[in-house]
A and B are shown apart, each in its own frame.
Chain A
């Protein structure tokens, strides 16, 4: 079963995301702090990362940048979860190396659809 890593400073959000994904059969790891999350991600890369952008200390953008700099994290698919819905914000995140973008507030179904789609694409790339 695919392993998804959820990074969000909001415990309720982490809880929700984990609940949604677990109920759909995913294995879920979580972290509410950017720095420790980065360390864990690089130590044991998951199949997919759900990343919140606005976090204290190390925010989502910085984390994404650092993740992509490391060879272990360079190819992990990242789905960004953000409250910012602007065209420019989305574009910026994708340029930094995110694979997809989902705006708050989203529906669980939409989230699961996006996660599955990303995993399929990533699997196809790995096999190819």
Chain B
């Protein structure tokens, strides 16, 4: 989250900084290229004007040399040079190229009086000297530096053109000025960069501040503070976004309220249903008790002797009352399980072996009577289970009842219990294997569904409403266990019940002890039900 926010601000800042730097660099370039040219032009114009202006007075003074003496001339020339900062050298040359005077600063040299005058050999310069119009040209000095040379012919009257004044001007001053302004702009650029950084970060921060406010709002909703809203008054898309977000939060709150109400209604309905089942079972049980009681009294002769036929009829009635009672009890158990109340309040640590022993004892007479062999193997030193004993008893009661019911005479019912991991959780696996008719693979997946029976005719043969296995599943799932079945038609069925060790609220606590991996059976003939 934080990383993203910084990125957004940096991105905006980078854009702003880029724009400012480009404009600064461009202006610096313009300064260097165009300004440089312009400043040189100004210097050159002033050089031409200066040379033209001084050409006549200078040559006149030079002509009056005899009357004033060299000292006065020198002084005059020095004063002239002070009028222009850029002048480097002034020369007076005749049309043939003989140099008569050369002044560089205070150094004024007069040629002719004993000193052989130097002669100009440069053709271009000679042409300029002999011409009648003032000319100017850029030249390269002996030391390699650029210079500007102005040639001003002195024409006193028509035809009288003896001398020309040659002024040589340096660009040094101009360049120095330019260099210093270049430095100045570099300084401004650097300062501008710093300023740009600060401004862009601040600007970007201003833009992202609203995004931050929005983000904080989203975080609050995420934390479950649904009543909070985001207030942004920026007038831009972010405000629109915040408004949309607030609307969404309103919708969310409304939906949650609706869901809660619906849930409350469902809870009430569920409670009503449970109460109904409880009341119905009471209403059913009381008449059943009366029926059972009188029938039993009659059968045992407690109400006086009755005929053989009557006794047989009474026995049939009794058997059917028993069946009705069992079904009513199943219904009550199922309705109670749906509410998960009895499970949480009645957990106890139990020893699996003693529970299995107890149940099997109740079945032993029935199995022996039906000629069914029975084998029970419980892994020694198996850990205790924390379960609702009443319900777990019901699980094995139902499964064993099925196994015995469907195993023909001479068949075998096998019960095995061993420690076994299931989905990385430690627990115990109990197999209840019969050698009965088996269950077709297509039916296997549905046998744990409520009110389902494999074969409609079995309902008549074996009784029951198909609640037994669904009750088993409900109980095992309430204990965070799993139940499934494998079967081969004609060979028999095996029901698997896996229950976690210890408290079924805390899983995966290792308490040692041997364990085996759960073997995966071929998926076709296997139905898995897990919590």
Residues of A within 8 A of B (CB): 10, 12-13, 16-17, 19-20, 23, 54, 83-88, 104-109, 111
Contact = CB atoms under 8 A, between A and B. Distances in A.
A125 B373 CA distance: 47
Contact of B282 (A16, A17, A23, A84): A84
B346 A87 contact: yes
A91 B286 CA distance: 21
- Interface centre among A13, A83, A88, A106, by most chain B C-beta atoms within 10 angstroms, is A83
Interface string B275-296: 0001001100111111111101
B135 interface: no
A83 B293 contact: no
What does DSSP make chain A's interface, helix, strand, loop or mixed? helix
- Interface centre among B289, B294, B297, B336, by most chain A C-beta atoms within 10 angstroms, is B289
A87 B342 contact: yes
B248 to A, nearest CB: 46
B226 interface: no
Nearest to A111: B293
A109 B502 CA distance: 40
A101 to B, nearest CB: 14
Contacts of B294: 16, 19
A107 B292 CA distance: 7
Interface size class of B (residues with CB under 8 A): 20 to 34
Contact of A83 (B282, B297, B300, B336): B282
Contacts of A20: 293, 297, 302
Given A12-B290, A23-B302, A104-B289, 5 more contacts: A16-B289, A16-B293, A87-B342, A87-B390, A107-B292
14 contacts: A13-B290, A16-B289, A16-B293, A19-B293, A19-B302, A20-B297, A85-B329, A86-B342, A88-B345, A104-B285, A107-B292, A107-B296, A108-B297, A108-B300
What does DSSP make chain B's interface, helix, strand, loop or mixed? helix
B289 A13 contact: yes
A105 B303 CA distance: 20
A17 B278 CA distance: 23
A83 B281 contact: yes
Nearest to A106: B289
B321 interface: yes
Nearest to B284: A83
- Interface centre among A10, A17, A86, A104, by most chain B C-beta atoms within 10 angstroms, is A104
B325 interface: yes
Interface string B325-351: 100010010001000001001100000
